[in-house]
Amino acid sequence: MLGKREPELYGNTTLDEINSDLEKLGGKLGLTVETFQSNHEGAIVDKIQEAVALQKGIIINPAAYTHTSIAIRDALLLLDIPVIEIHISNIYKRKSFRRTSMISDVATAQIAGFGVEGYGMALEALAGMIQSR
């Protein structure tokens, strides 16, 4: 629902636009970008588990699951690759329940509050992490 839900907080950019921009930037950085979105926690866990053997790094915006999902956190623990947690808004300037991340202590890094530009920042940082490994 990105681009429709709370545009004053998340902006008007759609997820398809972000994904397209990431694929283009990935090409410039020499990376193949695969995108995935689901509203179902189990599907997200399945996708993370697939990454164990298939991916060199992950950028994840767990959205509301940031604050609640031990299952996603545990799945990320399986990975031996860089993981960047991203949030469009600054979760630390929002309601108190949104300030807790179940993911941050297992993520390699976190980017929050830069709007949709944070996705490009995350991909560039991930490219650097992958190169330095």
Catalytic hit among 40, 67, 87, 92: 87
Neighbours of 8 (CB within 10 A): 6
Smallest CA-to-CA distance from 22 within 118, 111, 131 is with 118
Q: What does the angle CA 4 – CA 20 – CA 1 come to, to the nearest 5 degrees?
A: 20
Q: Is 87 a catalytic residue?
A: yes
Q: Which residues pair with 83 in a beta bridge?
A: 58
Q: Is 119 a catalytic residue?
A: no
Q: Which residues pair with 84 in a beta bridge?
A: 59, 109
Catalytic hit among 10, 40, 65, 119: 10
Query: Which are the catalytic amino acids?
Result: 10, 87
